[in-house]
Structure 1
Amino acid sequence: MTGMPPLTDLVWARGYTDPAWARRHTTSGRELLPSRRVWRGSGTPSPLPARPPGTSPLDDLAFDGPHGQSLTLSELLAAAETDALLVVHRGTLVHEQYLHGYEPHGLHFNASAAKSYLGLVVAVLVHEGLLDRDAQVVKYVPELAGTAFGEAQVDHLLHMGTRMNYAGRPYDKALEAQRYFAVLAPQLRPYGYTGPATIREHLATASATGEPGVEFRYENGNVEALAEVLRRITGTTTSALLSEMIWSRIGAEEDAYYVLDAEGAEAASGGFSATARDLARFGEMIRLGGALGDRQIVPEVVASTIVSGVPDGVGRRVRFPAAPPSAPATLSYHDLWWIPNDPYGSFMASGIHGQRLFISPTLDLVIVHYASQVVSPAAPYPPLVQAFLEIGTHLQG
């Protein structure tokens, strides 16, 4: 097993290219920054029925690897630097596996998969009439007047439809991601850093470089601006809001957590940690039309239109981040969820290091995949979505 670097030496840039450092971040990152819990509530954890111990129904499957080779499940998980794989079919946990010392009760960063969870909260509040999709963000957050996010509509942010640069710099997605992390973590700031020290200060430097709603541009700032909108209209923190609306109602076993900036604002675009089991409960609730048992947690119309509600225009067809240029642009993006446009009505939340919450209503399938995949052209992502579909069709068959 590869040794773990000490937390005090963790450098994000190295974490992109070294699996051990990436894993140290994804499984212990909450210890690096202040954090706020997403309370699980006082109720009893909801059951997660499992098949009897023994061989997995997936053991004999073969999957395509990143170079087109045939892989066993174990080989696929190794190639993906997997920390956990949970497969729930028709409400039964048919496969549960943990690797690299990660444990069922351990928290794991969800990275950008967290964007989708906030998107669900936004959709519920829109459904309840508390938020207007067509309103400009400045209506809710006056301090963002004149910025790319403030002058855009809520719906533009939900579909990554803003075009901007920060502080007049030419826009570069990878570099801006690094600067965003430096806003959150002082230890990542270079010597002499004089940039924004909070998320709000960071958003205030965003200037529009084009009309919103024209181009898809995957950018953390859209989600952070949405989170600020929610804090304004509800008068509560992102953590408390997610707890009240969802986490305390799904029968979670553990609290989840958000990391915080210097003002105590949650990093909503990627600072969320939870156990794999609780994420499976969350996914199963969505698969069942927003309900668990006799409890309607999310309005059925919201849960059932994540796929069917995809609008024309921005987000209708996009290329998955890190996909090679030759990959077909067959994905859609709606309310911060990725949609593969497969025959099964699937959709997913996705994070940079291989975090996935994959939900396929037609296949009666929920898959949670936690990983610490490096980000490098030399280590291409295995085709996990295709593997998930193969798992689902196998179980259905």
Structure 2
Amino acid sequence: MKPGLHRAACLAFCMTSPLITQADENPLAKYLVAPGAKTTLPVASAKTPFSLEFARDAQERFENFHYQLGGDHALYYNLHLSEVLPTATSKPNEHYRPLEKALDPALGDSVSFTVTEGDLTLNEYVVHPNHRVQAVVMVHQGKIVYETYPGMNPMDQHVWMSPGKTTVGLVIAQLEAEGKIDMNKEVVEYLPEFKGTNWDGIKMIDAANMATALQLEETLEAIVDPESIIVRFFGAEFGAPNPATGQVEDWLSILKGAEKIEGEAPGDRFRYSSAVTQVFVVIAERIENKTWATIFEERVWGNMTARLSMQHHLTPDGTSVAHGLLSTTTEDFARFGMLFTPSWDNAAVKPVVSAEVLKRLQTAGSPEAYRRGAKYEGQKADFGESPLMNSYQFDGVFEDGALWKHGNLGQGIYIDPARDFVGVYFSTNGYIPPYGEDKMPGYLRRAAKYLAGQAGRVDER
């Protein structure tokens, strides 16, 4: 399989920055003929209100594949998902506190990275039409040092996509620290209806690190197979019928039927799967006897001096799609990352991420399982260096403790506790060239190093 095709497997809120090399290789080409599926509008068009006609057309045509193509309608969905999906909220603390700004005018021209178009500075990259960046916010030592909004407004609430998985990793680590979850126990101890299935023998820690040895990985073959378990899972989350039967299924019941991967044991290999994330949402809800939105408000968002509530977009049965469908402002996205840094008190009224929890998130993965996984080579290219491992829903953890999580259509959060730095960004970056490449991860890590004084002008080394 060509690397570009493999990366295109993230069509359902998953893996790395997707890039389909040629339009005729696109297994979803038939979806591109629908109005709003292709990319014709510049991202800057999202800074002004969409017409009523455009909004109604986008709402009428909403469905998973149409959204994930990243075309014109996706610009609308990314900023208005509460209009097409049921939505719950986690309210912030009553005390809102603006983030102080100490903008570094040299940063945008001092950090560069090599992309398809050549060696671009950060300032050049964020406005390049091929990369369709909508917003970037960087925070160093508790202050905003860089911000830009090429394709949205500061008060707009944008979908996180897979960076939402970090919220699940955090809550699970909190529950573990409190003794409410034993990560060495099997998943079936917390989901007894899964006993007697292929989930038997899978430890919670291996599931948290997406190494279940079950056929739940979001590969291209799975995504384009209407009968695959992953397509059925995503369809059920959206309330769409199974293409093979015409019936709407229960998403959790679907996962009970996951098949084993022959010759592979749990913990052997990192295989990315949003479905596994949702299993932990259910486990947390059952342990706390509360909805995920309430759990997250009590444990995280309600302690934050954020500007707006977090939006949780829901499955038909009312479960938060925490693996990807969360929406906030860009600044509030950055505030979440600040909870993991020494400057947490600029974003919250009390500590949310304890030293114990942070250490667990930074060390719970397996470097060997990570290197065997499909993300390894892609992340090495995205950063110009390789993370050490994945851990607790984070795509990458570096040797210096920095944490990284990417999202479909070009979203990301980079948290660097040692350098007291957080970088976040939103995009609507589709699949057909010249679109699809996302190199913002490399810019964020280099910006952190630059600000920490580890380099003058940061180059590819």
TM-score normalised to structure 1 length: 0.87
Question: 2:53 aligned with 1:24, yes or no?
Answer: no
Distance in 2, matches of 1:18 and 1:270, equals 15
Structure 1 residue runs of 5 or longer lacking an equivalent are: none
Question: Which residue identity does 1:20 align to in structure 2?
Answer: D
Question: 2:116 aligned with 1:64, yes or no?
Answer: no
Question: 2:440 aligned with 1:384, yes or no?
Answer: yes
How has the CA–CA distance of structure 1 residues 147 and 129 changed in structure 2, closer, same or farther, with 3 Å as cutoff? same
Name 1:84's counterpart in structure 2: 135
Distance in 1, matches of 2:198 and 2:83, equals 33
Taking only aligned residues, the RMSD between alpha carbons, in angstroms, comes to: 3.0
Name 2:35's counterpart in structure 1: none
Aligned pairs for 1:116-127 within 5 A: 116-127=166-177
Distance in 1, matches of 2:241 and 2:125, equals 33
Greater helix proportion: 2
Name 1:183's counterpart in structure 2: 236
Question: Which residue identity does 1:364 align to in structure 2?
Answer: D
Distance in 2, matches of 1:38 and 1:320, equals 31
Name 2:332's counterpart in structure 1: 278
Distance in 2, matches of 1:310 and 1:186, equals 33
Structure 2 residue runs of 5 or longer lacking an equivalent are: 1-40, 454-461
Give the superposition deviation at 1:186: 3.4
Give the superposition deviation at 1:202: 2.5
Question: 2:188 aligned with 1:138, yes or no?
Answer: yes
Which deviates further from its counterpart, 354-363 or 319-328?
A: 319-328
Aligned pairs for 1:138-217 within 5 A: 138-149=188-199, 151-165=201-215, 172-173=222-223, 175=225, 177-186=230-239, 190=243, 193-196=246-249, 198-209=250-261, 210-217=264-271
Distance in 2, matches of 1:151 and 1:375, equals 38
How has the CA–CA distance of structure 1 residues 83 and 189 changed in structure 2, closer, same or farther, with 3 Å as cutoff? farther
Distance in 1, matches of 2:142 and 2:372, equals 31
Aligned pairs for 1:1-397 within 5 A: 1-2=41-42, 5=54, 6-41=58-93, 43-51=94-102, 56-61=105-110, 63-67=112-116, 69-77=118-126, 78=128, 79-100=130-151, 102-149=152-199, 151-165=201-215, 172-173=222-223, 175=225, 177-186=230-239, 190=243, 193-196=246-249, 198-209=250-261, 210-288=264-342, 295-311=350-366, 313-315=368-370, 318-320=373-375, 323=378, 330-331=386-387, 332-341=389-398, 344-376=400-432, 379-397=435-453
Distance in 2, matches of 1:181 and 1:309, equals 28
Question: Which residue identity does 2:417 align to in structure 1?
Answer: P
In structure 2, the residue corresponding to 1:88 is in which secondary structure? strand
Q: Deviations over 1:278-317 (max 9, x none)?
A: 1211111211286657722222221244324444543366
Distance in 2, matches of 1:367 and 1:178, equals 32
Q: Deviations over 1:92-133 (max 9, x none)?
A: 101222122x22222111111111110011011101100000
2:394/2:404 contact within 8 Å kept? yes
How has the CA–CA distance of structure 1 residues 320 and 75 changed in structure 2, closer, same or farther, with 3 Å as cutoff? farther
Question: Which residue identity does 2:121 align to in structure 1?
Answer: T
How has the CA–CA distance of structure 1 residues 39 and 216 changed in structure 2, closer, same or farther, with 3 Å as cutoff? same
Distance in 1, matches of 2:237 and 2:321, equals 8
Query: Matched residue pairs, number?
Result: 389
Give the superposition deviation at 1:191: 8.6
Question: Which residue identity does 1:303 align to in structure 2?
Answer: L
Question: Which residue identity does 2:355 align to in structure 1?
Answer: E
Give the superposition deviation at 1:325: 10
Distance in 1, matches of 2:365 and 2:391, equals 5
